[in-house]
């Protein structure tokens, strides 16, 4: 090594010039931190392959933090701070995206699992059967309450078994009620809920509420009906007849009790 002041030849690693006693000052070129570059590459490239389910972004985030720490403590001997920060930001954003998608998937799965579990419990307890888990009503019909006196028809009330809008609902929400009464008397009621499609027809759960003559109180009776499109008597006593029959025009109501 030549001394720039006096031109004396010195050893390559000399600290002091042998000729003039001057002190040699060495300047190092700052090196690029490899971890910083790797972190940036992993953070950006992870989006093209969705971080291989987050693994790429986890590694990129760790490398970026380590690289930034080393660069800060290197006193200028290492460079690449911007690359390390880029790697940290992109990797962190990718991980946040993965966690958000995973959280939404877990929520949707839990809702579906709870719904399936509820249906399974209902099956186990006999509240519903496998036939009840699907379908919408397709066989149209009319439910009629026919009030009689001395076996002569006095009045009747009727309602459609289901409405067109009901076919767009969840089967468990298809419910209807009709009532009919003589002047001043407690009404006779028929309520029903669609319970699903069976091979024989559409299944309905009926609840018939009938007033007693002796004390005016009302009693209820549950009746399961599988409607196949033919006329069926759901309930009958000396005062009332509740019938389900094929759909008809309003003027044909009288024929239902025949």
Provide block-wise average pLDDT over 10 residues at a time, the chain (258 residues): 70 71 63 88 80 80 91 83 90 88 83 63 52 68 83 72 75 79 78 85 89 66 89 87 77 42
Residues 116 and 147 in one domain: no
For residue 133, the model assigns a pLDDT of 46
What pLDDT is attached to residue 30?
72
Residues 114, 193 within the same domain: no
| Number of domains making up the chain | 2
Is-above-0.85 flag for pTM?
no
- In this predicted structure, what is the pLDDT of residue 20? 78
Residue 158 lies in a domain: yes
Q: Assess if residue 176 is contained within a domain.
A: yes
Q: What integer pLDDT is reported at residue 258 of this predicted model?
A: 43
Q: Are residues 148 and 236 in the same domain?
A: yes
Per-residue confidence (pLDDT) for residue 86, from 0 to 100: 92
**Cα–Cα separations (whole angstroms), residue 229 to 66, 222, 245:** 76, 21, 7
In the chain the first and final C-alpha atoms are separated, in Å, by: 126
Query: Are residue 154 and residue 188 in the same domain, yes or no?
Result: yes
- Cα angle 100, 106, 107 (rounded to 5 degrees) comes to 90
Single out the residue in 70, 90, 122 at which a domain terminates: 122
Looking at 93, 122, 151, the residue that finishes a domain is 122
Long-range contacts, stretch 105-111, CB < 8 angstroms, 24+ apart: none
105 and 60 in a single domain? The answer is yes
Q: Is residue 256 part of a domain?
A: no
Q: Which of 65, 92, 122 is the last residue of a domain?
A: 122
201 within a domain of the structure (yes/no): yes
Same domain, 214 and 159: yes
- Tell me whether residue 21 is in a domain: no
116-to-110, 120, 135 alpha-carbon distances in Å: 10, 6, 17
Residue 183 sits in the same domain as residue 154: yes
Evaluate whether residue 17 is within a structural domain.
no
Residue 184 CA, distance from chain mean position: 50
Does residue 116 sit in the same domain as residue 162? no
Q: Is 207 helix (H, G, I), strand (E, B) or coil?
A: strand
Whether 205 is in a domain gets the answer yes
In a domain, 187, yes or no: yes
What pLDDT is recorded for position 238? 80
Q: Are residues 147 and 85 in the same domain?
A: no
**Cβ(213)–Cβ(238) under 8 Å?**
no
Residues 173 and 93 in one domain: no
pLDDT for position 124: 52
Domain with 171, as residue range(s), is: 141-250
Residues 180 and 100 grouped into a single domain: no
């Amino acid at each position: 090594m030549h001394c720039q002041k006096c031109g004396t030849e010195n050893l390559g690693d000399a600290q002091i010039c042998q000729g003039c006693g001057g002190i040699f000052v060495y300047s190092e070129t700052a090196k690029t931190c490899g971890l910083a570059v790797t972190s940036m590459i992993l953070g950006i490239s992870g989006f093209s392959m969705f971080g291989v389910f987050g693994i790429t972004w986890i590694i990129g985030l760790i490398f970026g933090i380590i690289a930034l720490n080393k660069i800060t403590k290197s006193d200028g001997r290492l460079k690449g701070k911007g690359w390390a920060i880029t790697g940290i930001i992109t990797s962190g954003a990718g991980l946040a995206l993965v966690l958000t998608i995973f959280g939404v998937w877990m929520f949707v799965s839990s809702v579906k699992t709870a719904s399936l579990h509820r249906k399974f419990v209902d099956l186990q307890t006999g509240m519903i059967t496998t036939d009840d888990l699907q379908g919408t009503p397709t066989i149209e019909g009319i439910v009629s309450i026919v009030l009689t006196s001395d076996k002569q028809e006095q009045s009747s009330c009727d309602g459609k078994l289901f409405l067109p809008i009901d076919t767009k609902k969840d089967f468990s929400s298809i419910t209807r009620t009709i009532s009919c009464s003589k002047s001043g008397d407690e009404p006779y009621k028929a309520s029903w809920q669609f319970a699903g499609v069976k091979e024989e027809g559409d299944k309905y759960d009926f609840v018939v509420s009938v007033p007693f003559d002796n004390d005016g109180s009302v009693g209820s009776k549950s009746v399961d009906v599988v409607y196949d499109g033919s006329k069926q008597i759901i309930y009958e006593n000396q005062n009332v007849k509740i019938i389900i029959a094929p759909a008809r025009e309003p003027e044909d109501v009288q024929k239902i009790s025949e």
